Structure 1
Protein backbone atom coordinates (compact mmCIF):
# COMPACT_ATOMS: atom_id res chain seq x y z
CA UNK A 1 0.00 0.00 0.00
CA UNK A 2 1.23 3.50 -0.79
CA UNK A 3 0.64 4.60 2.81
CA UNK A 4 3.06 1.99 4.13
CA UNK A 5 5.64 2.77 1.47
CA UNK A 6 5.50 6.46 2.35
CA UNK A 7 5.72 5.75 6.09
CA UNK A 8 8.79 3.59 5.68
CA UNK A 9 10.45 6.24 3.51
CA UNK A 10 9.86 8.83 6.25
CA UNK A 11 11.18 6.36 8.81
CA UNK A 12 14.53 6.13 7.05
CA UNK A 13 14.81 9.92 6.90
CA UNK A 14 13.85 10.38 10.56
CA UNK A 15 16.48 7.89 11.69
CA UNK A 16 19.22 10.10 10.25
CA UNK A 17 17.88 13.38 11.68
CA UNK A 18 19.58 14.27 14.97
CA UNK A 19 16.90 16.88 15.79
CA UNK A 20 14.26 14.17 16.12
CA UNK A 21 13.50 11.68 18.88
CA UNK A 22 11.44 9.34 16.75
CA UNK A 23 8.43 8.58 14.59
CA UNK A 24 5.16 6.78 15.24
CA UNK A 25 2.06 6.04 13.20
CA UNK A 26 -1.58 6.02 14.34
CA UNK A 27 -5.08 5.92 12.87
CA UNK A 28 -6.24 3.09 10.62
CA UNK A 29 -2.70 1.65 10.59
CA UNK A 30 -3.34 0.36 14.13
CA UNK A 31 -6.46 -1.61 13.20
CA UNK A 32 -5.21 -2.94 9.86
CA UNK A 33 -7.98 -1.03 8.11
CA UNK A 34 -5.80 0.81 5.60
CA UNK A 35 -7.19 0.70 2.10
CA UNK A 36 -6.70 2.71 -1.08
CA UNK A 37 -8.79 5.55 0.35
CA UNK A 38 -7.00 5.85 3.70
CA UNK A 39 -4.90 8.79 4.77
CA UNK A 40 -1.77 8.38 6.87
CA UNK A 41 -1.41 9.63 10.45
CA UNK A 42 2.20 10.25 11.47
CA UNK A 43 3.54 11.51 14.80
CA UNK A 44 6.98 13.10 14.67
CA UNK A 45 8.62 13.61 18.05
CA UNK A 46 11.10 16.48 18.08
CA UNK A 47 13.79 17.28 20.64
CA UNK A 48 12.80 20.94 20.66
CA UNK A 49 9.28 22.26 20.35
CA UNK A 50 8.74 23.52 16.81
CA UNK A 51 4.98 23.95 16.60
CA UNK A 52 5.21 27.68 17.25
CA UNK A 53 6.70 27.99 13.78
CA UNK A 54 4.72 26.96 10.71
CA UNK A 55 7.88 27.45 8.66
CA UNK A 56 9.70 24.77 10.65
CA UNK A 57 6.78 22.37 10.36
CA UNK A 58 6.67 22.93 6.60
CA UNK A 59 10.44 22.47 6.37
CA UNK A 60 10.27 19.03 7.96
CA UNK A 61 7.27 17.95 5.87
CA UNK A 62 8.98 19.05 2.66
CA UNK A 63 11.79 16.56 3.25
CA UNK A 64 9.48 13.57 3.08
CA UNK A 65 8.13 13.85 -0.45
CA UNK A 66 6.72 16.14 -3.11
CA UNK A 67 4.59 18.42 -0.96
CA UNK A 68 1.77 19.93 -3.01
CA UNK A 69 -0.02 21.79 -0.24
CA UNK A 70 -0.20 21.89 3.56
CA UNK A 71 -1.92 23.76 6.35
CA UNK A 72 -2.05 23.61 10.14
CA UNK A 73 -4.95 22.16 12.09
CA UNK A 74 -6.36 25.07 14.08
CA UNK A 75 -9.80 24.32 12.59
CA UNK A 76 -9.84 21.03 14.49
CA UNK A 77 -8.25 22.50 17.61
CA UNK A 78 -4.82 21.03 16.91
CA UNK A 79 -2.21 23.61 15.83
CA UNK A 80 0.50 20.94 16.17
CA UNK A 81 -1.02 19.12 13.21
CA UNK A 82 0.13 19.71 9.65
CA UNK A 83 -2.33 18.43 7.08
CA UNK A 84 -0.42 17.59 3.91
CA UNK A 85 -1.12 16.56 0.36
CA UNK A 86 1.81 14.84 -1.33
CA UNK A 87 2.34 13.87 -4.96
CA UNK A 88 3.95 10.79 -6.51
CA UNK A 89 1.95 9.12 -5.12
CA UNK A 90 -1.00 11.43 -4.40
CA UNK A 91 -1.50 10.93 -0.68
CA UNK A 92 -3.12 12.73 2.26
CA UNK A 93 -0.79 12.68 5.27
CA UNK A 94 -1.49 14.16 8.70
CA UNK A 95 1.73 14.91 10.57
CA UNK A 96 1.55 15.83 14.25
CA UNK A 97 4.69 17.39 15.70
CA UNK A 98 5.11 16.81 19.45
CA UNK A 99 7.87 16.80 22.04
CA UNK A 100 8.58 13.74 24.17
CA UNK A 101 6.61 15.27 27.05
CA UNK A 102 3.62 15.90 24.78
CA UNK A 103 3.85 12.33 23.49
CA UNK A 104 2.80 11.14 26.95
CA UNK A 105 -0.73 12.44 26.45
CA UNK A 106 -2.45 10.50 23.69
CA UNK A 107 -5.84 9.12 22.68
CA UNK A 108 -4.43 5.85 21.33
CA UNK A 109 -1.16 3.95 21.47
CA UNK A 110 0.64 4.38 18.16
CA UNK A 111 2.99 1.97 16.44
CA UNK A 112 6.62 3.07 16.75
CA UNK A 113 8.54 3.25 13.49
CA UNK A 114 11.70 5.01 14.66
CA UNK A 115 12.98 5.36 18.22
CA UNK A 116 16.71 5.98 18.23
CA UNK A 117 17.16 6.10 22.02
CA UNK A 118 14.14 4.00 23.06
CA UNK A 119 12.42 7.08 24.53
CA UNK A 120 9.09 6.53 22.78
CA UNK A 121 8.83 2.96 24.00
CA UNK A 122 9.64 4.04 27.54
CA UNK A 123 6.82 6.60 27.45
CA UNK A 124 4.36 4.02 26.14
CA UNK A 125 5.42 1.55 28.84
CA UNK A 126 4.94 4.16 31.57
CA UNK A 127 1.65 5.73 30.44
CA UNK A 128 -1.75 4.77 29.08
CA UNK A 129 -3.80 6.18 26.24
CA UNK A 130 -7.20 7.69 26.93
CA UNK A 131 -9.71 8.21 24.14
CA UNK A 132 -12.08 11.13 24.87
CA UNK A 133 -15.67 10.08 25.45
CA UNK A 134 -18.59 12.50 25.26
CA UNK A 135 -19.99 14.02 28.42
CA UNK A 136 -23.65 13.00 28.52
CA UNK A 137 -24.62 15.95 30.67
CA UNK A 138 -22.89 18.30 28.24
CA UNK A 139 -24.99 16.83 25.43
CA UNK A 140 -28.29 16.99 27.32
CA UNK A 141 -27.59 20.58 28.40
CA UNK A 142 -27.39 21.59 24.74
CA UNK A 143 -29.59 19.22 22.79
CA UNK A 144 -32.96 20.93 23.13
CA UNK A 145 -31.43 24.36 22.56
CA UNK A 146 -29.91 22.96 19.37
CA UNK A 147 -33.23 21.50 18.23
CA UNK A 148 -34.94 24.84 18.84
CA UNK A 149 -32.23 26.56 16.83
CA UNK A 150 -32.74 24.16 13.93
CA UNK A 151 -36.49 24.78 14.07
CA UNK A 152 -35.90 28.52 13.84
CA UNK A 153 -33.88 28.00 10.68
CA UNK A 154 -36.57 25.77 9.18
CA UNK A 155 -39.32 28.22 10.12
CA UNK A 156 -37.43 31.07 8.46
CA UNK A 157 -36.81 29.03 5.33
CA UNK A 158 -33.04 28.80 5.82
CA UNK A 159 -32.98 25.20 4.72
CA UNK A 160 -29.28 24.93 3.91
CA UNK A 161 -28.45 26.19 7.42
CA UNK A 162 -30.75 23.56 8.90
CA UNK A 163 -29.29 20.79 6.75
CA UNK A 164 -25.77 21.69 7.84
CA UNK A 165 -26.88 21.65 11.46
CA UNK A 166 -28.21 18.10 11.13
CA UNK A 167 -24.72 17.11 10.05
CA UNK A 168 -23.32 18.70 13.20
CA UNK A 169 -25.78 16.80 15.40
CA UNK A 170 -24.81 13.53 13.75
CA UNK A 171 -21.13 14.31 14.26
CA UNK A 172 -21.17 15.33 17.94
CA UNK A 173 -24.25 13.56 19.32
CA UNK A 174 -25.87 10.78 17.32
CA UNK A 175 -22.77 9.23 15.75
CA UNK A 176 -20.72 9.02 18.97
CA UNK A 177 -23.66 7.70 20.99
CA UNK A 178 -24.44 5.04 18.39
CA UNK A 179 -20.81 3.97 18.38
CA UNK A 180 -20.77 3.70 22.18
CA UNK A 181 -24.00 1.71 22.13
CA UNK A 182 -22.31 -0.79 19.83
CA UNK A 183 -19.02 -1.01 21.70
CA UNK A 184 -17.00 1.18 19.32
CA UNK A 185 -14.86 4.20 20.02
CA UNK A 186 -16.98 7.37 19.68
CA UNK A 187 -15.36 8.67 16.48
CA UNK A 188 -18.22 10.85 15.28
CA UNK A 189 -19.68 9.28 12.16
CA UNK A 190 -16.44 7.60 11.08
CA UNK A 191 -17.13 4.19 9.54
CA UNK A 192 -20.74 4.07 10.71
CA UNK A 193 -21.58 2.41 7.39
CA UNK A 194 -19.48 -0.61 8.32
CA UNK A 195 -19.52 -0.59 12.12
CA UNK A 196 -23.20 -0.12 13.00
CA UNK A 197 -25.88 -2.79 12.72
CA UNK A 198 -28.50 -2.33 10.03
CA UNK A 199 -31.22 -1.02 12.35
CA UNK A 200 -29.00 1.66 13.91
CA UNK A 201 -27.63 2.74 10.55
CA UNK A 202 -31.17 2.96 9.17
CA UNK A 203 -32.21 5.16 12.10
CA UNK A 204 -29.25 7.46 11.46
CA UNK A 205 -30.09 7.70 7.76
CA UNK A 206 -33.57 8.94 8.70
CA UNK A 207 -31.98 12.09 10.18
CA UNK A 208 -30.88 13.17 6.70
CA UNK A 209 -33.11 15.64 4.89
CA UNK A 210 -33.82 17.10 1.50
CA UNK A 211 -34.07 20.83 0.82
CA UNK A 212 -37.70 21.32 1.76
CA UNK A 213 -39.68 21.99 4.92
CA UNK A 214 -41.49 18.66 5.14
CA UNK A 215 -38.32 16.63 4.76
CA UNK A 216 -36.48 18.77 7.32
CA UNK A 217 -39.26 18.48 9.88
CA UNK A 218 -39.41 14.73 9.37
CA UNK A 219 -35.66 14.55 9.90
CA UNK A 220 -35.89 16.57 13.09
CA UNK A 221 -38.59 14.27 14.44
CA UNK A 222 -36.38 11.28 13.63
CA UNK A 223 -33.42 12.99 15.29
CA UNK A 224 -35.42 13.49 18.46
CA UNK A 225 -36.67 9.90 18.43
CA UNK A 226 -33.15 8.53 17.98
CA UNK A 227 -31.69 10.80 20.65
CA UNK A 228 -34.35 9.81 23.18
CA UNK A 229 -33.69 6.13 22.49
CA UNK A 230 -29.93 6.54 22.90
CA UNK A 231 -30.40 8.67 26.01
CA UNK A 232 -32.53 5.96 27.61
CA UNK A 233 -30.02 3.29 26.62
CA UNK A 234 -26.82 5.05 27.71
CA UNK A 235 -27.40 7.86 30.21
CA UNK A 236 -27.21 7.15 33.90
CA UNK A 237 -29.45 8.55 36.62
CA UNK A 238 -26.80 11.15 37.40
CA UNK A 239 -27.58 12.99 34.15
CA UNK A 240 -30.10 15.78 34.75
CA UNK A 241 -32.71 15.73 31.99
CA UNK A 242 -34.06 19.10 30.86
CA UNK A 243 -37.67 18.00 30.63
CA UNK A 244 -39.11 21.52 30.75
CA UNK A 245 -36.99 22.59 27.78
CA UNK A 246 -37.87 19.36 26.00
CA UNK A 247 -41.61 19.91 26.43
CA UNK A 248 -41.49 23.52 25.25
CA UNK A 249 -39.37 22.68 22.21
CA UNK A 250 -41.75 19.87 21.23
CA UNK A 251 -44.66 22.29 21.45
CA UNK A 252 -42.73 24.70 19.24
CA UNK A 253 -42.15 21.86 16.78
CA UNK A 254 -45.90 21.37 16.59
CA UNK A 255 -46.33 25.08 15.83
CA UNK A 256 -43.77 24.96 13.04
CA UNK A 257 -45.46 21.88 11.59
CA UNK A 258 -48.84 23.62 11.31
CA UNK A 259 -49.63 24.49 7.68
CA UNK A 260 -49.47 28.18 6.84
CA UNK A 261 -52.72 29.75 5.67
Structure 2
Protein backbone atom coordinates (compact mmCIF):
# COMPACT_ATOMS: atom_id res chain seq x y z
CA UNK A 1 0.00 0.00 0.00
CA UNK A 2 1.31 3.45 -0.90
CA UNK A 3 0.87 5.91 1.96
CA UNK A 4 0.71 9.72 1.69
CA UNK A 5 4.08 11.42 2.03
CA UNK A 6 3.06 13.13 5.27
CA UNK A 7 1.49 10.02 6.81
CA UNK A 8 2.36 9.86 10.56
CA UNK A 9 3.42 6.51 12.02
CA UNK A 10 0.59 6.68 14.57
CA UNK A 11 -2.04 6.88 11.81
CA UNK A 12 -0.29 4.22 9.75
CA UNK A 13 -0.26 1.74 12.62
CA UNK A 14 -3.93 2.29 13.40
CA UNK A 15 -4.95 2.07 9.74
CA UNK A 16 -3.13 -1.21 9.28
CA UNK A 17 -4.86 -2.55 12.39
CA UNK A 18 -8.26 -1.45 11.06
CA UNK A 19 -7.70 -3.11 7.68
CA UNK A 20 -6.52 -6.35 9.27
CA UNK A 21 -9.67 -6.56 11.39
CA UNK A 22 -12.22 -5.50 8.78
CA UNK A 23 -10.98 -7.69 5.94
CA UNK A 24 -11.68 -10.74 8.11
CA UNK A 25 -15.40 -9.95 7.87
CA UNK A 26 -16.64 -11.74 4.74
CA UNK A 27 -19.45 -9.18 4.36
CA UNK A 28 -16.97 -6.38 3.76
CA UNK A 29 -15.75 -6.24 0.15
CA UNK A 30 -13.63 -3.10 0.11
CA UNK A 31 -12.06 -0.33 2.17
CA UNK A 32 -11.25 3.13 0.82
CA UNK A 33 -9.79 6.34 2.23
CA UNK A 34 -10.85 9.84 1.26
CA UNK A 35 -10.22 13.32 2.66
CA UNK A 36 -6.64 14.31 3.45
CA UNK A 37 -5.41 10.75 2.85
CA UNK A 38 -6.52 10.93 -0.80
CA UNK A 39 -5.06 14.42 -1.31
CA UNK A 40 -1.69 13.64 0.32
CA UNK A 41 -2.23 16.37 2.91
CA UNK A 42 -2.71 14.20 5.99
CA UNK A 43 -0.85 15.28 9.14
CA UNK A 44 -0.91 14.32 12.81
CA UNK A 45 -4.11 16.33 13.38
CA UNK A 46 -6.03 14.71 10.52
CA UNK A 47 -8.92 12.29 10.73
CA UNK A 48 -8.93 8.98 8.92
CA UNK A 49 -11.93 9.13 6.58
CA UNK A 50 -12.76 5.55 5.62
CA UNK A 51 -15.37 4.11 3.27
CA UNK A 52 -16.36 0.55 4.16
CA UNK A 53 -18.06 -1.14 1.18
CA UNK A 54 -20.49 -3.92 2.05
CA UNK A 55 -21.97 -6.78 0.04
CA UNK A 56 -25.45 -5.38 -0.75
CA UNK A 57 -27.15 -8.54 0.51
CA UNK A 58 -25.45 -8.06 3.88
CA UNK A 59 -25.78 -4.30 4.24
CA UNK A 60 -28.68 -4.20 6.71
CA UNK A 61 -27.01 -6.78 8.92
CA UNK A 62 -23.75 -4.83 8.97
CA UNK A 63 -25.58 -1.58 9.70
CA UNK A 64 -27.15 -3.20 12.73
CA UNK A 65 -23.70 -4.27 13.93
CA UNK A 66 -21.62 -1.29 12.85
CA UNK A 67 -20.85 -0.12 16.39
CA UNK A 68 -19.88 -3.67 17.38
CA UNK A 69 -17.56 -3.86 14.36
CA UNK A 70 -15.89 -0.56 15.23
CA UNK A 71 -15.60 -1.65 18.85
CA UNK A 72 -13.74 -4.82 17.81
CA UNK A 73 -10.75 -2.75 16.67
CA UNK A 74 -8.25 -2.47 19.52
CA UNK A 75 -7.94 0.98 21.08
CA UNK A 76 -11.47 2.29 20.63
CA UNK A 77 -12.31 4.69 23.45
CA UNK A 78 -15.51 6.29 22.11
CA UNK A 79 -17.85 5.87 19.15
CA UNK A 80 -21.24 7.11 17.99
CA UNK A 81 -23.34 7.21 14.84
CA UNK A 82 -23.69 10.23 12.58
CA UNK A 83 -27.37 11.15 12.68
CA UNK A 84 -26.41 14.65 13.88
CA UNK A 85 -24.84 15.30 10.46
CA UNK A 86 -27.62 13.52 8.56
CA UNK A 87 -25.55 10.39 7.92
CA UNK A 88 -26.64 7.35 9.98
CA UNK A 89 -24.26 5.14 7.98
CA UNK A 90 -21.36 7.00 9.58
CA UNK A 91 -19.64 5.89 12.78
CA UNK A 92 -17.33 8.45 14.37
CA UNK A 93 -14.72 6.93 16.67
CA UNK A 94 -11.68 7.87 18.72
CA UNK A 95 -8.76 5.50 19.19
CA UNK A 96 -6.06 5.25 21.83
CA UNK A 97 -3.19 5.63 22.47
CA UNK A 98 -2.74 8.59 20.12
CA UNK A 99 -6.28 10.03 20.21
CA UNK A 100 -6.87 9.51 16.48
CA UNK A 101 -10.29 10.36 15.07
CA UNK A 102 -11.66 7.86 12.53
CA UNK A 103 -14.79 8.22 10.41
CA UNK A 104 -16.16 4.88 9.22
CA UNK A 105 -18.77 5.29 6.50
CA UNK A 106 -20.54 1.97 5.88
CA UNK A 107 -22.06 1.83 2.39
CA UNK A 108 -23.63 -0.79 0.19
CA UNK A 109 -21.09 -1.48 -2.58
CA UNK A 110 -23.04 0.21 -5.43
CA UNK A 111 -23.52 3.35 -3.29
CA UNK A 112 -19.75 3.76 -2.92
CA UNK A 113 -19.77 5.32 -6.40
CA UNK A 114 -21.64 8.34 -5.02
CA UNK A 115 -18.92 10.39 -3.34
CA UNK A 116 -17.95 14.03 -2.90
CA UNK A 117 -14.18 13.63 -3.26
CA UNK A 118 -11.55 11.22 -4.47
CA UNK A 119 -11.26 7.94 -2.57
CA UNK A 120 -8.26 5.65 -2.69
CA UNK A 121 -8.74 1.92 -2.42
CA UNK A 122 -6.85 0.46 0.55
CA UNK A 123 -8.09 -3.10 0.28
CA UNK A 124 -10.74 -4.91 -1.80
CA UNK A 125 -12.00 -8.24 -3.03
CA UNK A 126 -11.70 -8.93 -6.75
CA UNK A 127 -11.42 -5.25 -7.79
CA UNK A 128 -15.02 -4.73 -6.64
CA UNK A 129 -14.52 -1.30 -5.12
CA UNK A 130 -12.23 -0.08 -7.91
CA UNK A 131 -14.78 -1.12 -10.52
CA UNK A 132 -17.59 0.71 -8.70
CA UNK A 133 -15.49 3.89 -8.49
CA UNK A 134 -15.01 3.79 -12.26
CA UNK A 135 -18.77 4.12 -12.79
CA UNK A 136 -19.00 7.66 -11.39
CA UNK A 137 -16.77 10.69 -10.83
CA UNK A 138 -16.58 12.41 -7.43
CA UNK A 139 -18.79 15.52 -7.24
CA UNK A 140 -18.46 18.01 -4.41
CA UNK A 141 -21.71 19.94 -3.73
CA UNK A 142 -21.53 23.43 -5.17
CA UNK A 143 -23.21 26.51 -3.68
CA UNK A 144 -26.25 27.67 -5.65
CA UNK A 145 -26.01 31.47 -5.96
CA UNK A 146 -29.70 31.84 -6.82
CA UNK A 147 -30.70 29.72 -3.82
CA UNK A 148 -28.59 32.00 -1.64
CA UNK A 149 -29.99 35.24 -3.11
CA UNK A 150 -33.54 33.99 -2.60
CA UNK A 151 -32.80 33.65 1.12
CA UNK A 152 -30.12 36.15 2.00
CA UNK A 153 -32.33 39.17 2.60
CA UNK A 154 -34.74 37.24 4.79
CA UNK A 155 -31.66 36.11 6.72
CA UNK A 156 -30.61 39.77 7.01
CA UNK A 157 -34.01 40.56 8.51
CA UNK A 158 -33.55 37.65 10.93
CA UNK A 159 -30.18 39.02 12.05
CA UNK A 160 -31.72 42.44 12.66
CA UNK A 161 -34.44 41.01 14.89
CA UNK A 162 -31.95 39.04 16.98
CA UNK A 163 -29.61 41.98 17.50
CA UNK A 164 -32.45 44.40 18.20
CA UNK A 165 -34.01 42.02 20.73
CA UNK A 166 -30.70 41.51 22.50
CA UNK A 167 -30.26 37.85 21.52
CA UNK A 168 -26.57 38.37 21.00
CA UNK A 169 -25.37 34.78 21.18
CA UNK A 170 -28.05 33.75 18.69
CA UNK A 171 -26.76 36.49 16.39
CA UNK A 172 -23.21 35.21 16.84
CA UNK A 173 -24.28 31.73 15.73
CA UNK A 174 -26.00 33.25 12.71
CA UNK A 175 -22.85 35.09 11.63
CA UNK A 176 -21.02 31.76 11.71
CA UNK A 177 -23.78 30.28 9.54
CA UNK A 178 -23.31 33.01 6.94
CA UNK A 179 -19.54 32.50 6.83
CA UNK A 180 -19.93 28.73 6.42
CA UNK A 181 -22.96 28.59 4.12
CA UNK A 182 -22.72 31.75 2.02
CA UNK A 183 -19.52 33.75 2.07
CA UNK A 184 -16.76 31.15 2.09
CA UNK A 185 -18.42 28.72 -0.35
CA UNK A 186 -19.08 31.49 -2.88
CA UNK A 187 -15.52 32.83 -2.59
CA UNK A 188 -14.03 29.35 -2.97
CA UNK A 189 -16.30 28.52 -5.90
CA UNK A 190 -15.28 31.71 -7.68
CA UNK A 191 -11.63 30.85 -7.07
CA UNK A 192 -12.30 27.41 -8.61
CA UNK A 193 -11.56 25.67 -5.31
CA UNK A 194 -13.60 23.05 -3.50
CA UNK A 195 -16.29 25.06 -1.63
CA UNK A 196 -15.86 23.29 1.71
CA UNK A 197 -17.14 25.99 4.04
CA UNK A 198 -14.45 27.67 6.11
CA UNK A 199 -12.15 24.62 6.19
CA UNK A 200 -8.56 25.87 5.79
CA UNK A 201 -9.84 29.17 4.37
CA UNK A 202 -6.85 30.93 5.98
CA UNK A 203 -4.49 28.91 3.78
CA UNK A 204 -6.58 28.52 0.66
CA UNK A 205 -7.80 32.15 0.36
CA UNK A 206 -5.66 34.23 2.72
CA UNK A 207 -6.79 37.62 1.39
CA UNK A 208 -10.46 36.68 1.66
CA UNK A 209 -9.96 35.23 5.14
CA UNK A 210 -8.67 38.64 6.24
CA UNK A 211 -11.98 40.13 5.11
CA UNK A 212 -13.84 37.47 7.07
CA UNK A 213 -12.15 38.65 10.24
CA UNK A 214 -14.44 41.68 10.19
CA UNK A 215 -17.46 39.37 10.37
CA UNK A 216 -16.35 37.99 13.74
CA UNK A 217 -17.84 39.77 16.73
CA UNK A 218 -18.27 39.77 20.48
CA UNK A 219 -21.79 39.31 21.91
CA UNK A 220 -22.30 43.07 21.97
CA UNK A 221 -24.70 45.17 19.94
CA UNK A 222 -22.15 47.50 18.32
CA UNK A 223 -19.82 44.64 17.33
CA UNK A 224 -22.67 42.54 15.94
CA UNK A 225 -24.02 45.39 13.85
CA UNK A 226 -20.60 46.02 12.35
CA UNK A 227 -20.02 42.31 11.66
CA UNK A 228 -23.39 41.86 9.97
CA UNK A 229 -22.84 44.92 7.79
CA UNK A 230 -19.54 43.42 6.72
CA UNK A 231 -21.35 40.18 5.83
CA UNK A 232 -23.74 42.16 3.65
CA UNK A 233 -20.88 44.02 1.98
CA UNK A 234 -18.96 40.83 1.28
CA UNK A 235 -22.06 39.12 -0.06
CA UNK A 236 -22.84 41.98 -2.44
CA UNK A 237 -19.26 41.88 -3.71
CA UNK A 238 -19.43 38.12 -4.30
CA UNK A 239 -22.89 38.32 -5.82
CA UNK A 240 -21.56 40.73 -8.43
CA UNK A 241 -19.67 37.83 -10.01
CA UNK A 242 -22.75 35.62 -10.36
CA UNK A 243 -25.39 35.55 -13.08
CA UNK A 244 -28.57 35.47 -11.03
CA UNK A 245 -31.90 37.24 -10.65
CA UNK A 246 -31.53 39.86 -7.91
CA UNK A 247 -34.35 40.57 -5.49
CA UNK A 248 -33.89 44.34 -5.34
CA UNK A 249 -37.09 44.99 -3.40
CA UNK A 250 -36.22 42.54 -0.64
CA UNK A 251 -32.65 43.83 -0.51
CA UNK A 252 -33.70 47.44 -0.06
CA UNK A 253 -36.42 46.71 2.47
CA UNK A 254 -34.29 44.41 4.63
CA UNK A 255 -31.23 46.66 4.66
CA UNK A 256 -33.44 49.60 5.65
CA UNK A 257 -35.08 47.46 8.33
CA UNK A 258 -31.67 46.38 9.65
CA UNK A 259 -30.43 49.99 9.84
CA UNK A 260 -33.63 51.18 11.52
CA UNK A 261 -34.02 48.40 14.10
CA UNK A 262 -30.35 48.17 15.08
CA UNK A 263 -29.76 51.92 15.23
CA UNK A 264 -27.73 52.78 18.30
Question: Structures share a fold, TM > 0.5?
Answer: yes
List gaps (5 residues or longer) in structure 2: 1-7
8 Å Cα contact 2:35/2:118 also seen in 1: no
In the TM superposition, structure 1's runs of 4+ consecutive aligned residues that sit over 6 Å from their partners are none
| Cα displacement (A) at 1:225 | 0.4
Give secondary structure in 1 for the equivalent of 2:217: coil
1:142 aligns with 2:151: yes
1-structure distance, mates of 2:179, 2:61: 32
C-alpha offsets along residues 41-76 of structure 1, whole Å, 9 cap, x if unaligned? 0111111213884x5011111122222111111111
Change (3 A) 1:89 1:50: farther
Question: Aligned ranges for residues 165-184 of structure 1 at < 5 Å?
Answer: 165-184=174-193
Q: Do 2:143 and 2:189's aligned partners in 1 also have CA atoms closer than 8 Å?
A: no
Q: TM-score, normalised by structure 1?
A: 0.93
Q: 2:196 aligns with which of 171, 187, 211?
A: 187
How much has 1:149 moved relative to structure 2? Answer: 0.4
Secondary structure of the corresponding residue to residue 247 of structure 1: helix
Q: How far apart are 1:106 and its partner, in Å?
A: 1.1
Name the CA distance, whole Å, in 1 between partners of 2:66 and 2:201: 33
TM-score (norm 2): 0.92
Number of residues paired by the alignment?
254
SS in structure 2 of the partner of residue 68 of structure 1: strand
The answer on 1:64 being equivalent to 2:69 is: no
Please tell me whether the aligned partners of residues 50 and 97 of structure 1 are also in contact (alpha carbons under 8 angstroms). no
Aligned partners of 1:92, 1:171: CA distance in 2, in Å? Answer: 22
Out of 84, 93, 100, the residue aligned to residue 84 of structure 1 is 93
Which residue does 1:124 correspond to in 2?
Answer: 133
3-state secondary structure, aligned to 1:50: helix
Long gaps (5+) in structure 1? none
Residue in 1 aligned with 2:254? Answer: 249
The equivalent residue for 1:44 is 52
Task: Tell whether 2:106 aligns with 1:101.
Answer: no
Aligned counterparts of 1:231 and 1:203: Cα–Cα separation in 2? 16
Secondary structure of 1:203's counterpart equals: helix
The 5 Å alignment of 1:187-206 reads 187-198=196-207, 200-206=208-214
Cα distance in 2 between the residues matched to 1:106 and 1:258 = 47
Per-residue CA deviation, residues 163-184 of structure 1 (Å, 9 max, x unaligned), is 0110111111111112112221
1:28 equivalent to 2:33? Answer no
Of 240, 260, 263, 1:258 maps to 263
Residues 197-228 of structure 1 show CA distances to partners (whole Å, capped at 9, x for unaligned) of 32x11111111111111110000110000001
